[in-house]
Structure 1
Amino acid sequence: MAKNDLQGTLELLILKTLAQNSSLHGYGIVLHIERVSGELLRVEEGSLYPALHRMEQNQWVRSSWALTETNRRAKFYSLTAAGRKQLAIAEKSWEKTVKGIQAVMQFA
């Protein structure tokens, strides 16, 4: 897979997470992905925050500052209408990728 494919996969995970949760801070996004994946997927801060920044520049997510459940100030992210459209595109692309991988695996 090319780097852009992997980058797109992280963006898909983030978009899907935000579609399932109205608003989360970065650490909440990480926890959700880890929990839902049964601890199989781990997202590092060095990948998460640049992805969120790109997604905010693309207007797929918006952010606002608020207090966490432990009274710490954090940036919370939520999905925009453009983000919902991008999620649909990314899900279709992911489905095609999975079909391609399955075809190769079955051939062997």
Structure 2
Amino acid sequence: MTAREEERALVAQVEGHLLLAATRAEGRRAAARLADRLGWLTDSQRADLEGHFESEYLELTRSSWRRTAERGEQLRREYESRYRLLRGRLLACFLLVCALLTAAALLTLSG
């Protein structure tokens, strides 16, 4: 692995940790808002509810990220396939034009 690839991997890892920390904080805030609406909860019930809510929130977010990544990979494969097809067609047209120009030049020189 080159130094540049290692840097990119490290940056991706740091971004992942920051994203996860932000999502956890977001889940805690959402859990606290829900628990605030349920004023009759005891402190232990509140803590339990907030913990479960935060875990579920994080799992739902991970699932959403996973689906997004899978869809992105699927789109990347589709676009790469279309790009290869287009590149092949463009090369074939270029070769055809070159052949036609060569034939025209040979006809002009022989005539």
TM-score of the two chains, using structure 1 as the length reference:
0.34
TM-score of the two chains, using structure 2 as the length reference:
0.33
Q: State the structure with bigger RCO (CA 8 A, min sep 6), 1 or 2.
A: 1
More strand by share: 1
Look at both structures and tell me which one has the larger radius of gyration over its CA atoms.
2
More helix by share: 2
